[in-house]
């Protein structure tokens, strides 16, 4: 039986500061959007909780403050 939790989820991770497009591969192909207020928005599919924790660990390793991580409806 398949549930919603078995499906890849789309997350938006907001961090303080701007990242360049060269970080796309490091963040597993997440879309990087630089916002006018100085934040960076990472958006993309996350296959499971372990992958989400891995992304959050990468943000921590950059030393950039995490503002939010939210799950959004695909599409």
Examine the pLDDT at 75 and tell me if it is beyond 70. no
Contact 16, 67 (CB under 8 A): yes
Q: What is the CATH number of the domain that holds 60?
A: 3.30.70
Domain tally, the chain: 1
Q: Which residues pair with residue 12 across a beta bridge?
A: 43, 70
The pLDDT assigned to 16 comes to 97
The pLDDT assigned to 5 comes to 57
Tens-place pLDDT, residues 4-52: 555 679 999 999 999 987 888 889 889 999 999 999 999 999 999 999 9
Domain of residue 54: give its range: 4-72
Cα angle at 19 between 16 and 24, to 5 degrees?
Answer: 125
Mean pLDDT of all residues in 47-70: 94
pLDDT band at 1 (very low <50, low <70, confident <90, very high): very low
């Amino acid at each position: 039986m398949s549930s919603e939790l078995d499906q890849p989820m789309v997350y938006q991770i907001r961090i303080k500061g701007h990242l360049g497009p060269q970080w796309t591969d490091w963040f597993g192909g997440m879309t990087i959007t630089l916002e006018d207020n100085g934040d960076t928005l990472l958006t993309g599919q996350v296959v499971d909780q372990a992958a989400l924790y891995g992304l959050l660990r990468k943000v921590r390793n950059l030393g950039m403050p995490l503002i939010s991580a939210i799950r959004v409806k695909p599409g």
